[in-house]
């Protein structure tokens, strides 16, 4: 966690692509008004300060936990930096759908104009207050034990998913993605798919799986929600094949995904069965759409891929699972490449996380310009003082 800047670059090449893309959008200005629903913070003399934050009474317990986790992550990155980080002002937004000129957990893959959204590492790198999830470091250790004892060929062949059925994005390629998934997989012997049955006001679910136990399956189904899904990075620690519609929200490491489209796999099978060789002619599974290709070029071959993209309506999900079961070497290779990248090479490790945060502070600091009212604000408090005040407020009856 104490790697210098050059060590970070050499150990995790390509890690900071999202920072580079956001920085390339050019200079921008932020002021106090940009933090009306977010937290305005400052890094000064290698210390974390809070200038303005949402009132605790205006935040759900969930948002408070995520804000606190993000600030702890930032502070950890500062404290473990072997060199001083530049002074800067930042705008931290922790709700699901990002706002412009902010540090947010994800960004949309397509935007018609510069929005200056800098993706930040997920709060689960610190902690996620769900008993069946806990944190990425905890899951990584548990998954390592599972993977050491359970080879890919011995894993459950059913494609697995758990989630909240109504959690969709009306502007996505499939506004009813989760409901359609439940319909397509209902009573299917090749699937272990259930809608979560929440209890205790969303604090637990009776049919939840521990996040590490998804790795006991060969195939893991990934769905996005209102925006990104925080479970993706957990699943990427598995030596399993992740099946997902083309991803529409980028987290800080999503660019490392190398997807092969299900259409390529299934059209290969159709061409072979027809004795036509690899003619490349359109088949019944013709895909991807131009919308998907804009972000995810359809050029990755099965032997290079670390994920499989299926149709947004899930209409080829079963056929894709059947194809992968019939080509175990391909399936195993996709699963192994995923785990090797994200776990083996450490792109989801604590060291990579703090490297990313420090690169984010540097990259953001080069393009952000703050109003004088921000720099001259005298009400900024240290993170330590802010955290104590917040805890005291929460404990009041």
* Domain final residue, candidates 344, 368, 383: 344
Are 353 and 340 found together in one domain? no
Report which of residues 278 and 266 the model is more confident about: 266
Average pLDDT, rounded, for the chain: 92
Are 390 and 328 found together in one domain? no
Report the alpha-carbon angle 331-295-363, nearest 5.
Answer: 110
Contacting residues for 78 by C-beta, under 8 A, at least 6 apart: 43, 46, 47, 48, 85, 358, 361
Cα–Cα distance measured from residue 307 to residue 320, given in angstroms and rounded to the nearest whole number: 12
Report which of residues 202 and 346 the model is more confident about: 346
Are 193 and 298 found together in one domain? yes
Cα–Cα distance measured from residue 164 to residue 145, given in angstroms and rounded to the nearest whole number: 28
Report which of residues 206 and 116 the model is more confident about: 116
pLDDT of the residue at 340: 99
- Mean pLDDT is highest, among 259-273, 286-300, 356-370, for 356-370
Are 184 and 320 found together in one domain? yes
- Could you tell me the sign of the dihedral formed by the alpha carbons of 224, 226, 230, 233, in that order? positive
Distances (CA, A) of 36 to 39, 69, 376: 8, 20, 18
Q: The pTM is what?
A: 0.93
* Domain final residue, candidates 344, 359, 384: 344
Are 333 and 372 found together in one domain? no
Cα–Cα distance measured from residue 373 to residue 346, given in angstroms and rounded to the nearest whole number: 41
Are 191 and 55 found together in one domain? no
What pLDDT, in 10s, does the model give residues 304-322?
999 999 999 999 999 999 9
* Domain final residue, candidates 323, 344, 365: 344
What pLDDT, in 10s, does the model give residues 37-79?
899 999 999 999 999 999 888 999 999 999 999 999 999 999 9
Are 356 and 339 found together in one domain? no
Report which of residues 371 and 341 the model is more confident about: 341
pLDDT of the residue at 124: 98
What pLDDT, in 10s, does the model give residues 113-122?
889 999 999 9
Are 328 and 199 found together in one domain? yes
Structure token digits, residue 243: 């099946």
Are 57 and 150 found together in one domain? no
Q: What's the CATH code of the domain at 177?
A: 3.40.50
pLDDT of the residue at 279: 41
pLDDT at 323 over 80: yes
Are 55 and 90 found together in one domain? yes
pLDDT of the residue at 95: 93
Listing DSSP states for 246-280 in one string gives PP-EE-TTGGG--EEEHHHHHHHHHHHHTT--S--
DSSP 211: G
Are 147 and 104 found together in one domain? no
pLDDT of the residue at 275: 52
**Beta partners for 194?**
162
Q: How many separate domains does the chain show?
A: 2
Q: What domain range includes position 170?
A: 136-344
Are 297 and 217 found together in one domain? yes
Contact status, residue 225 vs residue 167, Cβ threshold 8 Å: yes
């Amino acid at each position: 966690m104490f790697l210098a800047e050059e060590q970070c670059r050499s150990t995790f090449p390509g890690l900071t692509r999202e920072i580079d893309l956001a920085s390339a959008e050019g200079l921008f200005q932020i002021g106090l008004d940009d933090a009306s629903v977010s937290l305005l913070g400052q890094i000064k003399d290698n210390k974390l300060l809070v200038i303005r934050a949402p009132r605790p009474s205006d935040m759900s317990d969930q948002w408070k936990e995520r804000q606190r986790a993000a600030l702890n992550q930032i502070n950890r990155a500062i404290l473990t930096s072997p060199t001083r980080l530049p002074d800067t002002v930042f705008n931290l937004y922790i709700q699901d759908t990002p706002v412009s000129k902010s540090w947010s957990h994800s960004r949309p893959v397509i935007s018609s104009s510069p929005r200056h959204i800098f993706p930040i590492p997920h709060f689960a790198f610190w902690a996620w207050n769900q008993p069946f999830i806990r944190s990425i470091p905890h899951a990584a250790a548990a998954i390592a034990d599972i993977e050491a004892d359970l080879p890919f060929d011995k894993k459950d062949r059913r494609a697995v998913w758990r989630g909240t059925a109504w959690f969709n994005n009306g502007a996505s390629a499939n506004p009813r993605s989760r409901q359609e998934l439940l319909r397509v997989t209902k009573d299917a012997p090749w699937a272990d798919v259930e809608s979560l049955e929440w209890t205790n006001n969303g604090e637990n679910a009776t049919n939840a799986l521990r996040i590490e136990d998804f790795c006991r399956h060969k195939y893991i189904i990934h769905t996005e929600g209102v925006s990104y899904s925080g479970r993706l990075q957990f699943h990427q620690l598995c030596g399993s094949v992740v099946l997902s519609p083309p991803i529409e929200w980028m987290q800080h490491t999503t660019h490392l995904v190398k997807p092969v489209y299900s259409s390529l796999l299934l059209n290969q099978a159709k061409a072979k069965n027809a004795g036509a060789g690899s003619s490349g002619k359109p088949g019944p599974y013709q895909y991807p759409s131009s919308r998907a290709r804009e972000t995810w070029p359809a050029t990755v071959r099965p032997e290079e891929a670390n994920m499989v993209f299926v149709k947004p309506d899930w209409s080829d999900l079963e056929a894709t699972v059947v194809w992968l079961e019939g080509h175990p070497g391909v399936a195993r290779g996709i699963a192994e490449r995923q785990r090797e990248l994200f776990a083996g090479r450490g792109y989801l490790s604590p060291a990579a996380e703090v490297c990313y945060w420090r690169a984010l502070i540097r990259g953001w600091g080069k393009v952000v310009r703050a109003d004088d009212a921000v720099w001259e604000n005298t009400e900024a408090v240290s993170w330590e003082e802010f955290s104590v005040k917040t805890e005291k407020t929460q404990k009041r009856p």
